[in-house]
Structure 1
């Protein structure tokens, strides 16, 4: 870790790295392994907050408390169903057909572990898709973009053309809410 780093980022997501870099806190990426499996009777909000907390705390243990550790997770929820990354084309079709012409919720939780404990912030955004044709869904799948995205789309990429309305935080939908993350970091980290 760089001697000047203010914190660790417990995430492999290149999108989260890019967003965190915008906040101008020096950080080092830390690889953590956390099972992402919703528990029976666990609400989507509880699930995403637990994942962010688990990532942050796993990072805190791995770095032995040297610096604060930021963890985050994003899920896509439609009618209380968590829409994970698609398993294959058929699953992506099913997911995108659900989202087509409808409004869904994107929940992003951010957790920061430090000597003071672990603080978690949850941001909910509402995203509305225009109607999608089966041909559009098939062409989109062929781009490769939906394969590793929760909800089978990336708002910051080609999938952004399907979004007719967004109420909430664009950066949270991408994977890290800038406003809330900055406020959290101001409490526990020093700026560069």
Structure 2
């Protein structure tokens, strides 16, 4: 259905995430991939979804001078937000372990923003999911980080991996958002954009 609506559009997914690529395939949305380097820096005063909105729109700026008439550039960003602090992707094992220790036994939020940019239009949607971890032992944290090396995951974990299976006790909101894309919002937004010339 959506595939037919988008037949005159070129969807460009500006993400290197294999999870986002799979979501687009599962949604049956034809797309090309084009990832451009962006320095992901945001103003200190931004909070929660303001951060992901800013970064998703920042990533779209790399395409603005080359946009074609029928293109829709899709950019996104995900953060884990815990105790008024944004957790990005850990750079080291020690940093990943510290992140997981900070999430242990608590409820945190995962925010994802997705920006849709065309020649004449830009819209950004966002989603919050609340995730609760049990009290994780040091052994569990060490095992996960050493075996799964979650250095490309916001907050140092992936919900669909071992740590999520054994550690997550409650979820409020979209599971797919935590994996990296609020698929229901992307679907609805693309339906709206399909009608825009």
TM-score, normalised to structure 2's length? 0.88
Matched, 1:89 2:129: no
Matched, 1:144 2:169: no
Moved more, 136-145 or 58-67: 58-67
Unaligned stretches of 5+ in structure 1? Answer: none
Residue 167 (str. 1) matches residue 172 (str. 2) = yes
* Superposition deviation, residue 140 in structure 1: 0.6
1:117 to 100, 118, 121: 121
After TM superposition, the structure 1 = structure 2 runs for residues 25-174 of structure 1, keeping only pairs within 5 Å, are 25-161=29-165, 162-174=167-179
CA distance in 2, matches of 1:137, 1:19: 28
CA distance, structure 2, for counterparts of residue 129 and residue 171 of structure 1: 17
Confirm whether residue 186 of structure 1 aligns to residue 191 of structure 2.
yes
Cα distance, 1:119–1:66 mapped onto 2, change above 3 Å:
same
Name the counterpart of 2:3. none
Give the 3 Å change call, closer, same or farther, for CA 156–63 of structure 1 in structure 2: farther
Range that drifts further, 79-88 or 49-58: 49-58
Please, what TM-score do these two structures have when normalized by structure 1? Answer: 0.90
Query: CA separation of 1:59/1:189 partners in 2, compared to 1, >3 Å: closer, same or farther?
Result: farther
* Paired residues, number: 188
Q: Does the 8 Å contact 1:5/1:27 carry over to 2?
A: no
Shift of 1:63: 4.1
Provide the alpha-carbon RMSD of the alignment: 1.8
For residues 69 and 63 of structure 2, what CA distance do their matches in structure 1 show? 9
Q: Aligned partners of 2:9 and 2:162: how far apart in 1?
A: 33
Q: CA deviation at 1:30?
A: 0.9
Cα distance, 1:24–1:187 mapped onto 2, change above 3 Å: same
User: Which has the higher mean CA deviation after the structures are superposed, 62-71 or 26-35?
Assistant: 62-71
**8 Å contact kept, 2:129–2:178:** yes
